[in-house]
Amino acid sequence: MTVLGIESSCDECSVAVVRDGRQILSHLIHSQIEDHARYGGVVPEIASRKHVEWILPLFRRACEDAAIDPARDLDAVAVTTEPGLSGSLLVGLGFAKGLAIAIDRPLVAVDHILAHLYAPRIESEIALPYLGLLVSGGHTIVCRVDGWDSMTVLGTTTDDACGEAFDKIAKYFGFGYPGGLAVDRLAANGDPYAYDFPESRLESPAHRYDVSYSGLKTAVVAQRERFRRAGAVESAENIAASFQRVAIDTVMRRLERAIADTGIRRVAIAGGVAANSYLRKRGGALAVKELHIPSMELCTDNAAMIAGIGFEYVRAGRFVELDVPVNARVRGYRRIGGRRREGDTPTE
Ligand code: KG4
Ligand code: ZN
């Protein structure tokens, strides 16, 4: 079964053709880094306009690269409809609807978070259940994955997402854009122990797997003196390396807790921050039998994961009508102990 995937939830415009959920026939990603760099962050209006410019050429190229005729060879069209920037999502969804009508094939509305968690499964078979860690610019989720559409959230962030903290620190110090990559590059030449920045200490049972980045951000921005090690030299490299160590350790320790508590020894890490070099190295030290971290291209936003999980939606007959809307907000996923966060909308 051949599915075309479209991803336009933020600043990456991407189209992919994937067979049977695993075999990538073509995959194109146009990143808008240059368009947003001078603003130091994604400007939603610019993002939507760029998606409008890029989506048709990317679609044509993706079909060419995969050597397919969409009207003949595609079985379904899968597109991200939530969560994300509304204007950006609408461009992808509008295009997907038009295509589905033109080639008379079913439409699949993909949840971007479930797609990130599916990404490691494109490259490796992972038996269920496994523990998932999603660390991206918008999300930080420690969860138990029981199926392609079934996960239980163990912990999230109480403030910034992990990638967001990288982006904000990089912006504050002028390290470069996009922030995560800029910090990662600087950190390669810094001392990760130059500063003992504080790790979040959410110790109550209700927050056992949750993280917080506000204390770390404050310390890095305003309290460096307090946490400096004797003799440490103030440099961009040292700040980046010390921040990166604590930011990643913070979330990895919660994952370690989940591994110890649940006894589940299979872990998959996904999302843009999974591209981080310290995280990838640190992952090797986890007490697990299997660790799956996708290749770089499948960590950050991409359409291969949309077409990949799209295959599962199709197999389950989970199609949508042409009036399907976009949803900017994160769904209220099932949480451990049945709790949901305020403002969450139930999924069941
Ligand atoms: O998954 P993604 O492309 O988009 C979202 O769904 O949010 O993740 C983007 C995030 C950004 O915050 C970016 O700074 C971060 O991933 N990121 C990194 C690295 N590469 C991207 N963070 C740390 N180290 C990296 N090498
Ligand atoms: Zn994403």
User: What is residue 338's predicted lDDT score, i.e. its pLDDT?
Assistant: 61
Per-residue pLDDT tens over the stretch 110-132: 999 999 999 999 999 999 999 99
Which pLDDT value is given to residue 342?
39
Tokens of 12: 């990456």
Structure tokens at 239: 């700040």
pLDDT more than 90, % of the chain = 90
Residue 102: in which H helix or E strand, if any?
helix 86-103
pTM: 0.93
Strand 266-270, strand 130-135: pairing: parallel
pLDDT over 90 at 343, yes or no: no
How far is the centre of ligand 2, averaged over its atoms, from the C-alpha of 232 (Å)? 36
For 2-49, write each residue's pLDDT tens digit.
999 999 999 999 999 999 999 999 999 999 999 998 888 899 999 999
Task: For residue 92, report the distance from its CA to the centre of ligand 1, in Å.
Answer: 21
Which residues face 6 on adjacent strands?
15, 79
Using one digit for the tens of pLDDT, what is the confidence trace for 202-216? 888 889 999 999 999
Region 247-251 average pLDDT: 98
Q: Is the CB of 140 inside a 6 Å radius of any atom of ligand 1?
A: no
> Each residue of 129-146: b (16+ CB within 10 Å) or e?
bbbbbbbbbbbbbbbbbe
Q: How far, in Å, from the CA of 301 to the mean position of ligand 1?
A: 9
